[in-house]
Structure 1
Amino acid sequence: MIRVVTLDSFDEKQTAKLCQALYTAFGVGSEHSGQKEVPPGMSEPLDAEQLIKDIKGVRAYEDDKVLFITSRKLKERELPGGKAPTTGYALYNQNRAIITTHGHKDFEAAFKPIARNALQQIGHLWGLHHCLDPRCAMYPPWTPSFNTGEPSFCSFCREKSEQKLRLAKS
């Protein structure tokens, strides 16, 4: 099950549409599991890694994946080549990820890049790496064409995610 948890106020129809896109991509249940507050003391830009570790009280089973969504800016990450903007972050091969809609004025108009980002972060939770196919949601997000692609996987990444799902415990 993919549990979508909002950290800010989002339109229910938009959240349902995102859950449907996740269901279509992964073939497992996806539902909006409520809204949580950002822990006290965290200011914008939010530290994505710390934030997803600090949020408490999300009901989930062992193999559930939790995707947090915020409209707030996430702190840039320090990489060997310098700082990189953060639109999403996942605890690789674990169970929690976050995406931001910051920078998109209209959720509906920006649905494809937001959904593609969500697919990529959930893919990382199931152990998927970046892909060389520019049509795939696992294509690196820092490339100029990432935001123009469809929220879907190439056949290789789709099969890899299905394999991971079959091996899940529950």
Structure 2
Amino acid sequence: MNDLDPHPWFDHGPDPDNPGWMTWNVKDDTRFNGFLGSIAIREDAEDGFGWVRMTPQHRHSNFGENVHGGTILGFIDVCLFAGSRAIGIDLGGRAVTVELSTQFVGAAHIDIPLDCRLENVRETGSLLFLRGMLMQRPREDAECANVATFTAILRKGLPRP
């Protein structure tokens, strides 16, 4: 991935709010991704994981004052594509989610960055098998708390509309 190449659908550059991260913000914020707000991605060169971050806001909450499960599922789906870019797989906007299996293991809180760690399990000519975990650090002095784990399959190489 060349971070200097412009992307047709996303603003991609150094993220001033997250040092070491790159922005991955949709240019047309009337699309679903715009609902999630600012997204950042980071590649961890040491372990090969792609990282995706969002900071949930009040509009992402449920009546329990936690992040709504639908927001979490939507964020995971965005992570499949943004995180693939972070690990060097550019799907070029020509892929779809075939399967997504998610296990919710804890609550996510508003106004605290929600991080997704994504790994490539296997890639074939037409499919991409991924797994990941969502986590939050509730306080600076605390360990990360797991929010959800997931596995997914993407179908690659679809023709442009």
The TM-score, its normalising length taken from structure 2, stands at 0.31
Would you tell me which structure has more helix in proportion to its own residues? 1
Would you tell me which structure has more strand in proportion to its own residues? 2
